[in-house]
Structure 1
Amino acid sequence: MKKLLQLLEEDCTLTTAQLASMSGMSEEQVKDAIRAYEEDKVVLGYKAIVDWDRTDRESVTALIEVKVTPQRNEGFDRVAERIYQYDEVESVYLMSGAFDLTVIISGRTLKEVAQFVGQRLATLEGVTGTATHFILKKYKEKHLIFEKREEQEREWIFV
């Protein structure tokens, strides 16, 4: 079963026949296992990883370090829950070290992201500090390497 989960994580577009062949299970076992994983929330969803730099969509992604005062009886969970409710927020992680939460957000512009941090995130009760880092270029995400764009042909004019 662990092999099936690894295969799904690597490529969720594989057919049940391919998954069965690669995992040593029957197609019926694969279907039943996937259904159970989805019902038990082991598999939360399926998502394509898109290289937005190869499209005409303008977008900015930022990693924000957030320092938080833990809440009585709830620790960091209440603050994290309030943060992940925002549409701009892609991911929230509890961290060890110099800060408490890592928040990944996306917006159309640097200004939009900065306004989100300054007006919504930093003002939340329990948030004591933030540090924003803008992602300039993605090289690898979820085990997938973002390939270099092919050099466009240049036209040379000699005089």
Structure 2
Amino acid sequence: MDIILRALKNEISAILALAPTDNLHWCGSHTDLFEAAALVCTSFPLYTSAGQLYRVGPLIHELCLRLHLDEPHNPRAYLYKAKHRKYVRQVPFQQRYAQCLRQMPRPLFAMIRVGEGKEPPFSSSSPQPAAGMHVADAPDALDATHCEG
């Protein structure tokens, strides 16, 4: 699981390196994105550009800013929802992320769309590698975000 969390940290760090003016939009579940942020914050030290340690709230704020999401008034409510949905309707985010990671290098980037609107970056005929995590082909998503490696 450590490899999975490191991959998740690398993706979150790459998203934080993007500018809000890049016109990127998150097309996945808000709860999944916020759960990913909380996993990274509780598993690894992640620092702001000023050298301060990120906490969950400020990290969610920064992600919302870069991915043009309306920031929730209470992000912990999303984390509470994530905690209580596990094993009820779908497997936990970390397991779904691990399944996607086996098939593509950067699953979170596959849920980011460039341009206006929040339409999903995939069609109904696109491959969906893991149940509950709808993603597009990773190379297309990476090319569209101008983020290599």
TM-score range, shorter chain: under 0.3
Q: Name the one with the larger strand percent.
A: 1
Q: Which has the larger radius of gyration?
A: 1
Q: TM-score by structure 2 length?
A: 0.21
